[in-house]
Structure 1
Amino acid sequence: MQVNKLHTLTGHNDCIYALCEGSDPRYFYTGAGDGMVVEWDLDQPKDGKLIAKLDHSVYALEVDKERNLLFIGHNFEGIHVIDLNENKEIWSLKITDQAIFDIKVFGNEVYAGTGDGVLVILDIAERSIKKHIKLSSKSVRVMSIAPKKRHLAIGLSDHTIKVLDLANDFRPITNLTGHSNSVFGLAYSPDESFLASGSRDAHLKIWNTTNYTLDEDIVAHMYAINYLYFTENGKYLATCSMDKSIKVWDFEERKLKKVLDKARSAGHGTSINKVIWSSYTGQLIAVSDDRSISIWQIEPILI
């Protein structure tokens, strides 16, 4: 597997925490501790465009691909909604005085996970709060949706993963225990057969979603796994960590294929907070506490 570092992008003035792909996957968005939200163009990656400048850190970004809206989690304030066609804010909502660690869009609803363990459900058309669900006294850290199953998996700082039924008014399906620290990374495989979870305990766990049993437990990193992300075809999984490395796994074989770090791959010198595979180029994009964005081409990965 060949790794080629293509770009190091700079411009943020603080740790970068949020990363998501646009509805046009040529573009991606980053959010940071400096309150800036920036749009990047993979065809001209050096020229970032400022989309929003907020008063507090941004930990969560989500693009509503159907409506081309960007939802920004503004810590201690709530959410801001940017119309990406017009590049302007069209509404905002004070939903919490806590940090917002993750946002997901499903159908006509937005799900926001907060630092006080609440899942806030918003109606996009009405621009209003529909429901609060108190899940824990600890933070909601990460969410993943299986759209065909209509399952919402939620990783929490109480070390658990709670799975809710979106087809049945958020009824609890299961409560997965096994991690010994906060769950920061969570993703359903594209075929929804498996749920991958990564934790501050440095373990990567694979759950079979037929009955949510543990299929595999891998000591994947030296320190916390901050995030994980599947290629579109489900063959590869990337994990990123506080140990300053990204690992690429052959998911079908459950084998480590490549380690990207500073020494070997011109990687980051500090904690890597998010990673995605671009569905536009197949490239791997990562953001870090070092305030920079890295883009690699990895061969022969076809996503």
Structure 2
Amino acid sequence: MRYIVTTTIFLLIFHLSKGQEKTDNDPKLTELVMSMSQRSIVMPGYLTNLKALIAQQAYKFWKTGNVEPYVSHLNVYTALYEANKYLGYDSIRNRAYNQVGFHSNRVTSVVFGEDPNYYYSSSADGRVLKWDLSQPTGIPETVYESDKIIQSIEMSRDGKVLMAIFYQEGLALISTDKDIKGDISVIEDPIPVQTATFLPGERKYLSVTKSGELLLKGFDSKSDTVGKTALKVNQLKVDENDGTVYAGTEQGVLEAWQKPYDVKESPIEDIMKNWREQSYFGYELGTFSINCLDMSPNGEILAIGRDRGDVILWDVKKKELRRIIYGHQSTVTDIQFNPIGDLLLTTSRDGTARIWDLNDSRRLPIILDDHKAWVFTGSFDPSGKQVITGGGDDYIRTWPVDPSFFAKRICELVSRNMTQDEWKEFVGINIPYQSSCE
């Protein structure tokens, strides 16, 4: 990561926040934490131990001192990550510690199943792989293989069936539990679809065909046509509280289909004419394509990622805009709440994934930018302590959410502390010397 927040930005935010609320933050210590973090970030990788110790000491000051909270956490996380990247770096395979492995083409989706210790990834190479979270560099199991490009995968609510959606083709149902294989007669559904999703509490799925028909299908291959849409649908998301299906469309309209999905045809001209009133066809949120959706754990907020690079937080009950999150420089490709609902993960074609604090809009996001191409997918693990991302560089990466993981790893791998001379240079003479790692 090369994201550096300058002292000028800090001073601006510090003075703004100081004018809004009383604070006992120590501006000198805050500036020291940011300065040390930045010096660690720019230090070359071959000075591995010193790079790590400076980042570690900045983290200790940040944790124990009265440090301004809205900027410095990003610098601290970045410095700790950069230091950890070079600790145990595999120079032969040019692999950092958090590079799990790779497909032979871009990684399109990452999802968790019934067992929280395993997750699945899909790729344009036509394969679905199963990974052991506890063995990041282990060899994955191939659970499905096809000559088709897999656009995305989705896991059923019980975690026992994977759906692989093919690009401009049909879809496949893949059992992840040997005990239910006999219950699935549909292995591949050849009807070309735009997208599809499982329905909660039922062994059924809803698909949108290329012509816009909404098909309700069971695992026994029986299907019913329940409606039609004139819009290009990029993703579906089900509200498990009332069964409403939300559709993010290329035209920038959020469609809302009520259970039992009795959807009449929705001409584009009618949507644009009547968008201010709620109806079966939903809401116009602008002309930017809606690419991804996720529902908050409490069912109150729908997160909407757009081509514009922003995220709309939509109040489901009030049916109104709650907040817009800006930051990405290109299309938002994937979006997910953590299990508690206080953090939001976004991925983007700008080459980054970002973790946003939803409780405090002033707190800068954590920026994960080590993929060498577009980032297509991201997921929190079931505990919410770790993030998995996949990108156009064919790699899968893991990222701890809490920077204390990085700090602990540094002290496990670095066998010394700063020298007195290093302390004077990077910390200063006015702060008494202490061990960075006890």
TM-score class, shorter-chain normalisation, is 0.7 to 0.9
Residue 161 of structure 1 deviates from its aligned partner by 0.9
**For 1:105 and 1:71, how far apart are their aligned partners in 2?**
12
Residue 18 of structure 1 deviates from its aligned partner by 1.8
Structure 2: 5+ residue runs without aligned partners?
A: 1-72, 86-96, 265-278, 405-438
Select 2:399's aligned residue among 272, 293, 296.
296
**For 1:111 and 1:254, how far apart are their aligned partners in 2?**
35
**For 1:249 and 1:280, how far apart are their aligned partners in 2?**
17
For 2:241, the equivalent position in structure 1 comes to 148
For 1:228, the equivalent position in structure 2 comes to 335
* 1:127 equivalenced with 2:241 (yes/no): no
Select 2:170's aligned residue among 70, 73, 78.
78
Question: Greater share of strand residues, 1 or 2?
Answer: 1
Residue 252 of structure 1 deviates from its aligned partner by 2.6
Residue 216 of structure 1 deviates from its aligned partner by 1.7
Q: State the one-letter code of the partner of 2:292.
A: G
For 2:355, the equivalent position in structure 1 comes to 248
3-state SS of paired residue (1:257): coil
For 1:26, the equivalent position in structure 2 comes to 117
Residues 1:116 and 1:13: Cα distance change in structure 2 (over 3 Å):
farther
For 2:63, the equivalent position in structure 1 comes to none
Question: Greater share of helix residues, 1 or 2?
Answer: 2
3-state SS of paired residue (2:288): coil
Higher normalized contact order (CA 8 Å, seq sep 6+, divided by chain length): 1
**For 2:362 and 2:280, how far apart are their aligned partners in 1?**
30
3-state SS of paired residue (1:166): coil
**For 2:240 and 2:392, how far apart are their aligned partners in 1?**
32
* 1:194 equivalenced with 2:287 (yes/no): no
**For 2:165 and 2:144, how far apart are their aligned partners in 1?**
12
Q: Is the Cα contact below 8 Å between 1:113 and 1:142 reproduced in 2? A: no
Residue 215 of structure 1 deviates from its aligned partner by 1.6
Q: Is the Cα contact below 8 Å between 1:93 and 1:128 reproduced in 2? A: no
Once the two structures are superposed, residues 84-109 of structure 1 have per-residue CA deviations (whole angstroms, 9 ceiling, x without a partner) of 123978632435235x4453332222
* 1:66 equivalenced with 2:158 (yes/no): yes
**For 2:394 and 2:201, how far apart are their aligned partners in 1?**
33
Residue 34 of structure 1 deviates from its aligned partner by 0.8
Residue 249 of structure 1 deviates from its aligned partner by 1.1
**For 2:143 and 2:156, how far apart are their aligned partners in 1?**
16
CA RMSD of aligned residues (A): 2.6
* 1:185 equivalenced with 2:280 (yes/no): no
Choose 6-15 or 161-170, whichever is displaced more.
Answer: 161-170
Residue 226 of structure 1 deviates from its aligned partner by 0.8
Select 2:145's aligned residue among 49, 53, 61.
53
**For 2:331 and 2:386, how far apart are their aligned partners in 1?**
24
**For 1:178 and 1:77, how far apart are their aligned partners in 2?**
29
For 2:253, the equivalent position in structure 1 comes to 160
Structure 1: 5+ residue runs without aligned partners?
A: none
For 2:316, the equivalent position in structure 1 comes to 209
Q: Is the Cα contact below 8 Å between 1:59 and 1:74 reproduced in 2? A: yes
3-state SS of paired residue (1:19): strand
Residue 121 of structure 1 deviates from its aligned partner by 2.0
Q: State the one-letter code of the partner of 1:41.
A: D
Choose 193-202 or 247-256, whichever is displaced more.
Answer: 247-256
Once the two structures are superposed, residues 232-267 of structure 1 have per-residue CA deviations (whole angstroms, 9 ceiling, x without a partner) of 1110011111111112111133345333243xxxx2
What TM-score, normalized to structure 2? 0.62
Residues 1:275 and 1:35: Cα distance change in structure 2 (over 3 Å):
same
Residue 180 of structure 1 deviates from its aligned partner by 2.3
Once the two structures are superposed, residues 261-299 of structure 1 have per-residue CA deviations (whole angstroms, 9 ceiling, x without a partner) of 43xxxx212111111110046210111111111110011
Once the two structures are superposed, residues 126-157 of structure 1 have per-residue CA deviations (whole angstroms, 9 ceiling, x without a partner) of 3322225322242x111222211322111011
3-state SS of paired residue (2:339): coil
Choose 69-78 or 157-166, whichever is displaced more.
Answer: 69-78
Q: State the one-letter code of the partner of 2:129.
A: V
Once the two structures are superposed, residues 20-59 of structure 1 have per-residue CA deviations (whole angstroms, 9 ceiling, x without a partner) of 1112121111111111111111022322111111111111
Q: Is the Cα contact below 8 Å between 1:63 and 1:105 reproduced in 2? A: no
For 2:205, the equivalent position in structure 1 comes to 110
* 1:16 equivalenced with 2:107 (yes/no): yes
Residues 1:17 and 1:256: Cα distance change in structure 2 (over 3 Å):
farther
Q: State the one-letter code of the partner of 2:392.
A: D
**For 1:197 and 1:251, how far apart are their aligned partners in 2?**
14
Choose 280-289 or 221-230, whichever is displaced more.
Answer: 280-289
Choose 17-26 or 67-76, whichever is displaced more.
Answer: 67-76
**For 2:363 and 2:280, how far apart are their aligned partners in 1?**
31
3-state SS of paired residue (1:247): strand
Q: Is the Cα contact below 8 Å between 2:355 and 2:366 reproduced in 1? A: yes
**For 1:174 and 1:272, how far apart are their aligned partners in 2?**
31
**For 1:240 and 1:164, how far apart are their aligned partners in 2?**
26
Q: Is the Cα contact below 8 Å between 2:157 and 2:201 reproduced in 1? A: no
Larger Rg computed on CA atoms: 2
**For 1:114 and 1:269, how far apart are their aligned partners in 2?**
34
Q: Is the Cα contact below 8 Å between 1:96 and 1:114 reproduced in 2? A: yes
